[in-house]
């Protein structure tokens, strides 16, 4: 049994009414803003690294440990909430996440020390672990299968656009004598509260899960993935496609944690960019990732609407982006000046298309199983983010953090390892992430059983 292509969808475009389409994009835009806040709260630790380490008396290894602590409960939370999502409304789950994000910012804002920072980052990680898979799931329930590539990338763009919007703004706050680094946490807490209020007023669950009726009374035809029979989740989680996606995700989470925790130190300490411009340079990879996601999302959607496969319209493009990222990182550590900034931008920006991997995997299963499959993928992949900041901290401390040469040497070793991880998993993604083939195998196995 083959996964139905865009050509076999039953009159979805005819029955997908304008009111539903407008609501779908409104929810998508709001969830994109959700991911912008998600990025800001994840990245703020790296932006406050210098003043926070000085004020709190934190060593590089200790700072790396605090960076890693964000992911201590990230994986478990993603998996648990993914399971709950089959019983609890995505709207409610997302509202709770936003409120948790808000509440953990204020203890730091009001003067908490290193221990408070550590605990709050652990709780924040638990609140943010399910954010990407549940936001993707909530968005994809508003669109038929052949139209999911672009809105899914809009959710991913929220995270990358967060750097473009949040990093420069937070840098200004941190550098301001009247405000300082603690105010960065305070502003993020206020933003999360305001977003939660807006979501409770506007956010709704979408109709594309089982051919339901929309809020305006219009019916929607089942999308292609809804025609897939339910399969053993264990079989999905042991498939070659899923394992390859987890490996690629591990490399992406590893890289993102390194970027958010140590990227500003590289910009200021190795490239010797002035403190006032660190946030601007730090935003460049995220800006590149935003543009890349728009381009790849548009290409993938156009390709799939013409009857193309998710393997090449989503997974293949994702794998090639990782190959580009790894190659640029390996070259970057041997350059300096403007060329280093260009390679930093592309190398640390191309892997930010990671959400394309769970999007691709989602095409292999019925939507009712998508959240648990994708959440488990993201949860296990996020282990990369647990270990990488501390590993980089070890490299830096071993090389001698006090001197620029020592910092450069330590980060060179760490960035080289990161580049190799991305290059290998990128090639594996192109070769092995094939939703159509995996769906067919899962359906055949189910029929034999």
Q: Which of 145 and 133 is assigned the larger pLDDT?
A: 133
For residue 172, which of 82, 44, 53 has the smallest C-alpha distance?
44
Architecture of domain 14-210+223-448: Up-down Bundle (1.20)
Say how many C-beta atoms besides its own lie within 10 A of residue 219's C-beta.
11
- Supply the pLDDT for residue 447: 64
Distance of CA 201 to the CA centre of its chain: 25
Give the whole-angstrom CA distance, residue 154 versus residue 26.
12
Helix and strand totals (H; E) in the chain = 22, 0
* Lowest mean pLDDT across 77-91, 100-114, 159-173, 431-445: 159-173
Q: Which of 443 and 215 is assigned the larger pLDDT?
A: 443
Percentage of the residues of the chain whose pLDDT score is greater than 70: 88
- Supply the pLDDT for residue 214: 44
pLDDT tens-digit readout, 353-368: 998 999 899 889 887 7
Percentage of the residues of the chain whose pLDDT score is greater than 90: 33
- Supply the pLDDT for residue 405: 67
Give the whole-angstrom CA distance, residue 269 versus residue 271.
6
Name the average pLDDT for the chain: 83
* Lowest mean pLDDT across 11-25, 339-353, 393-407, 418-432: 11-25
Is it the case that residue 342 has pLDDT exceeding 90?
A: yes
320 band by pLDDT with thresholds 50, 70 and 90: very high
Q: Which of 113 and 318 is assigned the larger pLDDT?
A: 318
Is it the case that residue 17 has pLDDT exceeding 70?
A: no
- Supply the pLDDT for residue 226: 59
Task: Decide: 5 and 224 in contact? Cβ < 8 Å.
Answer: yes
Q: Which residues, 6 or more positions from 132, have their beta carbon under 8 angstroms from its beta carbon? A: 35, 38, 155, 159, 355, 358, 378
pLDDT tens-digit readout, 163-206: 677 777 887 888 888 888 899 999 999 999 999 999 999 888 88
Task: Decide: 324 and 346 in contact? Cβ < 8 Å.
Answer: yes
Q: Which of 214 and 37 is assigned the larger pLDDT?
A: 37
Is it the case that residue 429 has pLDDT exceeding 50?
A: yes
Q: Which residues, 6 or more positions from 446, have their beta carbon under 8 angstroms from its beta carbon? A: 229, 230, 231, 232
């Amino acid at each position: 049994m083959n996964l139905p292509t865009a050509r076999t969808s039953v009159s979805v475009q005819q029955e997908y009414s304008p009111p539903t389409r407008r609501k779908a994009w409104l929810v998508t835009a709001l969830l994109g803003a959700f991911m912008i806040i998600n990025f800001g709260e994840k990245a703020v630790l790296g932006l406050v690294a210098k003043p926070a380490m000085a004020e709190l008396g934190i060593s590089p290894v200790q700072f790396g440990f605090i960076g890693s602590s964000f992911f201590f409960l990230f994986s478990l939370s993603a998996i648990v909430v993914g399971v709950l999502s089959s019983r609890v409304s995505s709207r409610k789950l997302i509202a709770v996440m936003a409120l948790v994000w808000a509440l953990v910012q204020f203890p730091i804002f009001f003067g908490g020390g290193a221990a408070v920072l550590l605990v709050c980052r652990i709780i924040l990680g638990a609140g943010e672990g399910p954010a990407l898979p549940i936001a993707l799931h909530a968005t994809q329930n508003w669109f038929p299968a052949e139209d999911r590539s672009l809105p899914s990338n809009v959710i991913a763009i929220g995270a990358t656009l967060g750097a473009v919007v949040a990093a420069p703004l937070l840098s200004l706050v941190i550098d301001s004598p009247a405000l300082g680094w603690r105010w960065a946490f305070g502003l993020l807490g206020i933003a999360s509260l305001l977003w939660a209020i807006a979501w409770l007023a506007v956010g709704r669950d979408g109709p594309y899960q089982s051919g339901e009726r929309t809020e305006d009374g219009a019916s929607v035809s089942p999308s292609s993935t809804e025609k897939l029979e339910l399969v053993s989740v264990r079989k999905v989680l042991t498939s070659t496609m899923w394992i390859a996606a987890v490996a690629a995700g591990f490399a992406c989470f590893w890289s993102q944690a390194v970027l958010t925790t140590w990227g500003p130190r590289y910009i200021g300490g190795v490239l010797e960019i002035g403190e006032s411009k660190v946030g601007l340079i730090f935003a460049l990879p995220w800006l590149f990732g935003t543009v890349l996601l728009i381009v790849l999302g548009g290409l993938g959607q156009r390709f799939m609407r013409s009857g193309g496969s998710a393997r090449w319209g989503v997974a293949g493009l994702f794998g090639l982006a990782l190959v580009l990222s790894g190659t640029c990182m390996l070259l970057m550590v041997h350059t300096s000046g403007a060329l280093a900034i260009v390679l930093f931008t592309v190398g640390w920006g191309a892997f930010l298309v990671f959400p394309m991997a769970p999007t691709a995997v989602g095409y292999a299963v019925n939507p009712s199983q998508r959240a648990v499959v994708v959440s488990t993928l993201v949860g296990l992949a996020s282990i990369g983010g647990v270990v990488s900041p501390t590993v980089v901290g070890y490299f830096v401390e071993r090389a001698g953090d006090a001197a620029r040469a020592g910092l450069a040497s330590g980060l060179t070793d760490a960035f080289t390892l990161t580049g190799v991880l991305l290059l290998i998993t990128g090639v594996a993604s192109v070769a092995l992430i094939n939703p159509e083939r995996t769906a067919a195998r899962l359906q055949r196995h189910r029929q034999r059983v």
